[in-house]
């Protein structure tokens, strides 16, 4: 039994399949890179794993327990073992501090220290009292990551976490991702960026039109035949 | 003209000297309307949030019905609540007809459509991404609701103020359910109407000035909130 098992997962919107037959077993400490052109279903897959959306078919098992059959209350506790950073993160009204501590507060936990060190990790120390509505796009993205990091999730779902960032901030986030995996967090990272995938991922899954057309170690996947790479290059 | 001027002067005198009758009526008015807006907020805000956040058959119909009821004539609500509270009505055994409690209930019913309707439209402004973010950070359904309400807190406060203003300035329920009993259920609006008909213009004007000032303050506060 693997830590997280996706089995024949599918999702349709209004009769149109956007994900089909996604099966993969994942362990703690892995970094799975999901790569694929726009509209291939990366975000949808992360949303299914985060239980924000119900799959149309297939199952998601965490520690062997099928999550989607659970009553809402137990779905909530499963969801509380994960955290997701959205492709276009939004801030709640209030300060950076209030945003970053949100997940802790609703769990009834208090920890100023962890908020401070999470902000430090994303290079935003001293931002606590800033009004979140005054942040730049790149700062929002990093605060959103800090907001997920404070929860010390067992599964971290990242949707294009470095798309809006300059190389220096992106590199800082890459190293956060690496060190999390070292602490046995399962990281699932959706990205267009093949280089980032190659650098970080322990395994890569290639999505094409909702299907997983290749899975494997980065070297295997990226050294596919020229024919496959031709499909892979356009993004 | 002469009469109005001297009446106005006497009215100001009543206010400035804190005439016990004037103070008593004002305090009762504030108490009853604040109580009704407070209690109806407790029920209507969560109810509005629930209607807004769920998809169910007939949702649009319910929302447009609520909008229609915004302009519910106060006397119809008065009549309805009278029928409910009268001796043979469904809540007759409570014996709260002609009491402040009855008036509070009546005003709650009167402002319920506005409170629910404004809650729904305020929460509709919150982007679905905010709810998703809260949910993915581990918020329960109730916590998501609280977070969403907090996102539009000034609009929610404006809704509460509007409800308060409507409760404070209505006559129908106060007259028909309260009965305008002196020192017990007599409030600003019913007192003004009675004193005017009895020719006590200085007292009516004093009460009128107070009612107008409170309404102005409420409107001022509401405008400031909506500017945000
Ligand atoms: N709520 C929805 N209703 C209808 N269609 C949807 C919905 N969400 C996503 N889709 C469709 O599903 C497909 C996959 O979308 P998804 O957002 O998962 O792609 P993606 O791989 O994340 O793309 P990108 O790289 O542009 O972020 C798209 O065709 C999209 O239009
Ligand atoms: Mg996407």
Residue of A nearest to B133 (CA): A90
User: Is a pLDDT exceeding 50 seen at residue A233?
Assistant: no
Percentage of chain A beyond pLDDT 90 is: 82
The pLDDT tens digits of the residues spanning A177-219 come to: 999 988 999 999 999 888 888 899 999 999 999 999 999 988 8
Percentage of chain A beyond pLDDT 70 is: 95
Q: Do A84 and B136 touch (CB under 8 A)?
A: yes
pTM: 0.86
What ipTM was predicted for this assembly?
0.91
Catalogue the E-assigned strands of chain A: 4-13, 16-26, 31-35, 57-62, 65-66, 82-85, 155-159, 186-191, 203-208, 211-216
- CB-CB: which of B137, B141, B151 is closest to A102? B137
The total of structural domains in chain A comes to 1
CB contacts, 8 Å: B139 with chain A: 106
For helices B100-124 and B74-85, angle between their N-to-C axes, nearest 10 degrees? 130
User: Is a pLDDT exceeding 50 seen at residue A230?
Assistant: no
A15 CB near ligand 1 (under 6 Å): no
pLDDT at A195: 87
Say which residue the tokens 């629930």 belong to. B50
User: Is a pLDDT exceeding 90 seen at residue A56?
Assistant: yes
* A83 CA: distance to closest CA in chain B (Å): 6
Put the strands of the sheet holding A4-13 in their side by side order.
Answer: A16-26, A4-13, A57-62, A65-66
- CB-CB: which of B127, B138, B150 is closest to A90? B127
Q: What is the mean pLDDT of residues A160-170?
A: 89
CB-count exposure of residue B74 (10 Å: 0-12, 13-18, 19+): buried
Of A41, A55, A85, A196, the one to substitute when testing ligand 1's pocket (max ligand atoms within 8 A of C-beta) is A41
pLDDT at A224: 59
In a domain, A94, yes or no: no
In a domain, A210, yes or no: yes
pLDDT digit of tens for each residue in chain B (228 aa)?
788 888 899 999 999 999 999 999 999 999 999 999 999 999 999 999 999 999 999 999 999 999 999 988 999 999 999 999 999 999 999 999 999 999 999 999 999 999 999 999 999 999 999 999 999 999 999 999 999 999 999 999 999 999 999 999 999 999 999 999 999 999 999 999 999 999 999 999 999 999 999 999 999 998 888 766
pLDDT at B216: 95
CATH of the domain at A58: 3.40.50.300
Split at pLDDT 50, 70, 90, the class of A235 is: very low
CB contacts, 8 Å: B150 with chain A: 92-93
A44 CB near ligand 1 (under 6 Å): yes
A42 CB near ligand 1 (under 6 Å): yes
Q: Give the side-chain half-sphere CA count within 13 A for A60.
A: 20
Tokens of B51: 């209607």
Among A161, A224, A166, A220, CA closest to A193: A161
Split at pLDDT 50, 70, 90, the class of A1 is: confident
Put the strands of the sheet holding A82-85 in their side by side order.
Answer: A82-85, A155-159, A186-191, A31-35, A203-208, A211-216
Among B221, B189, B45, CA closest to B123: B45
CB contacts, 8 Å: A84 with chain B: 136
Of A17, A20, A33, A40, the one to substitute when testing ligand 1's pocket (max ligand atoms within 8 A of C-beta) is A40
Task: Please tell me the CATH superfamily of domain B21-225, with its number.
Answer: MetI-like (1.10.3720.10)
Among A57, A63, A85, CA closest to A156: A85
**Residue range(s) defining the domain that contains residue A20:** 1-81+201-235
Q: Do A102 and B130 touch (CB under 8 A)?
A: no
Shortest-distance atom of ligand 1 to CA A36: 21
pLDDT at A112: 81
Q: Do B129 and A102 touch (CB under 8 A)?
A: no
Mean residue pLDDT across chain A: 92
**b/e map of B90-129 (b: 16 or more CB within 10 Å)?**
eeeeeebbbbbbbbbbbbbbbbbbbbbbbbbbbbeebeee
Shortest-distance atom of ligand 1 to CA A11: 12
pLDDT at A229: 47
Q: What is the mean pLDDT of residues A115-119?
A: 95
User: Is a pLDDT exceeding 90 seen at residue A156?
Assistant: yes
Split at pLDDT 50, 70, 90, the class of A226 is: very low
Of A39, A40, A193, A209, the one to substitute when testing ligand 1's pocket (max ligand atoms within 8 A of C-beta) is A39
In a domain, A3, yes or no: yes
Contact B54, B123 (CB under 8 A): no
In a domain, A136, yes or no: no
CB contacts, 8 Å: B147 with chain A: 92, 102
């Amino acid at each position: 039994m693997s830590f997280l098992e996706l089995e024949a997962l599918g999702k349709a919107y209004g009769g149109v399949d956007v994900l089909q037959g996604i099966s993969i077993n994942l362990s703690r400490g892995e970094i799975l890179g999901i790569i694929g052109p726009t509209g291939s279903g990366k975000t949808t897959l992360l949303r299914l794993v985060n239980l924000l959306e119900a799959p149309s078919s297939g199952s998601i098992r965490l520690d062997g327990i099928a999550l989607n059959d659970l009553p809402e209350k137990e779905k909530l506790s499963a969801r509380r073992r994960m955290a997701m950073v959205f492709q276009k993160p939004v801030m709640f009204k209030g300060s950076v501090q209030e945003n970053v501590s949100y997940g802790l507060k609703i769990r009834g936990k208090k920890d100023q220290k962890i908020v401070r060190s999470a902000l430090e990790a994303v290079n935003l120390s001293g931002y606590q009292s800033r009004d979140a509505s005054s942040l730049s796009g790149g700062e929002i993205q990093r605060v959103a990551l800090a907001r997920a990091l404070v929860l010390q999730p067992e599964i971290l779902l990242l949707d294009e976490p470095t798309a809006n960032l300059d190389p220096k901030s992106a590199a800082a986030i890459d190293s956060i991702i690496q060190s999390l995996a070292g602490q046995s967090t399962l990281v699932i990272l959706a990205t267009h960026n093949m280089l980032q995938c190659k650098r970080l991922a322990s395994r890569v899954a290639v999505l094409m039109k909702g299907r997983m057309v290749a899975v494997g170690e980065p070297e295997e996947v990226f050294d596919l035949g020229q024919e496959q790479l031709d499909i892979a290059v356009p993004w | 003209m002469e009469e109005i001027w001297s009446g106005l002067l006497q009215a100001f005198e009543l206010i400035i000297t804190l005439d016990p009758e004037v103070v008593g009526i004002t305090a009762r008015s504030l108490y009853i309307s604040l109580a009704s807006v407070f209690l109806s907020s407790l029920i209507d805000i969560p109810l509005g949030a629930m209607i807004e956040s769920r998809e169910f058959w007939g949702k649009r119909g319910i929302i447009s019905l609520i909008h229609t009821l915004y302009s519910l004539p106060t006397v119809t609500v008065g009549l309805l609540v009278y029928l409910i509270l009268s001796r043979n009505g469904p809540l007759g055994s409570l014996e709260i007809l002609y009491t402040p409690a009855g008036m509070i209930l009546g005003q709650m019913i009167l402002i319920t459509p506005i409170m629910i309707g404004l809650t729904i439209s305020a929460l509709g402004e919150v982007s679905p991404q905010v709810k998703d973010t809260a949910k993915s950070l581990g918020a329960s359904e109730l916590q998501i609701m609280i977070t969403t309400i907090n996102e539009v807190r000034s609009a929610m406060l404006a809704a509460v103020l509007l409800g308060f203003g409507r409760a404070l300035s209505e006559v129908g329920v106060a007259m028909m359910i309260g009965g305008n009993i002196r020192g017990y259920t007599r409030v600003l609006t019913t007192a003004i109407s009675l004193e005017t008909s009895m020719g006590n213009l200085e007292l009516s004007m004093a009460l009128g000035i107070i009612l107008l000032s409170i309404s102005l303050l409420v409107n001022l506060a509401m405008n400031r909130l909506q500017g945000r």
